Structure 1
């Protein structure tokens, strides 16, 4: 069963939003940084794996970041707060658009 939750890590001033599968593996992950919750990552494990196999992982990670590489039950989730699929999806869509816009801006400015 898919589960969605978020967790705040004060030491990094970051909200982590997770979609995890029945085995606890992260399938999608969003990171929102600082007081303005600026998206820093919006990664999909399926896309990450496809990019790895295609040899484009560096580009993918530069645009979208990466997901956690261990099941969630193997780390401290800092007081997870359950989310609905709809709540997660709203954050996901916004973060993805921000990551894509940032990547376009980098390519336009030669960075």
Structure 2
């Protein structure tokens, strides 16, 4: 079962948005910085893995960033706020558009 949620890290004024698969791995991740919510990450694990196989990982990561490297069961100190798929998709779309414009 796929879950969507967000979590705030106040030390960095950063919102994390996650799409997580049934095993607890992040399949897509968005990071929004500061009061303006400026996108700094909008990464897909599937795309990241494909870029790695194709030898284009540094280009992908330079544009979109990366997803969390451990499953959520191993995370500490986060306070998840549930999202709907529609809410996540709206943030994802806006973040991707912003990061692609910066290329």
- After TM superposition, is the score higher than 0.5? yes
**Residue 28 of structure 2 corresponds to residue 28 of structure 1:** yes
Q: Distance in 1 between matches of 2:30 and 2:24?
A: 16
Q: Looking at CA atoms only, which structure, 1 or 2, has the larger radius of gyration?
A: 1
| Count of residue pairs the alignment pairs up | 103
- The DSSP-based 3-state class of the residue aligned with 1:24 is coil
Change (3 A) 1:3 1:77: farther
Runs of 4+ that moved beyond 3 A: none
Q: Which runs of 5+ in 2 are unaligned?
A: none
Q: Which runs of 5+ in 1 are unaligned?
A: 104-111
**Residue-by-residue CA offset, 1:32-51 (whole Å, 9 max, x unaligned):** 00111100000000000000
Residue in 2 that maps onto 1:53:
53
- TM normalised by structure 2 equals 0.98
- TM normalised by structure 1 equals 0.91
- The DSSP-based 3-state class of the residue aligned with 2:69 is coil
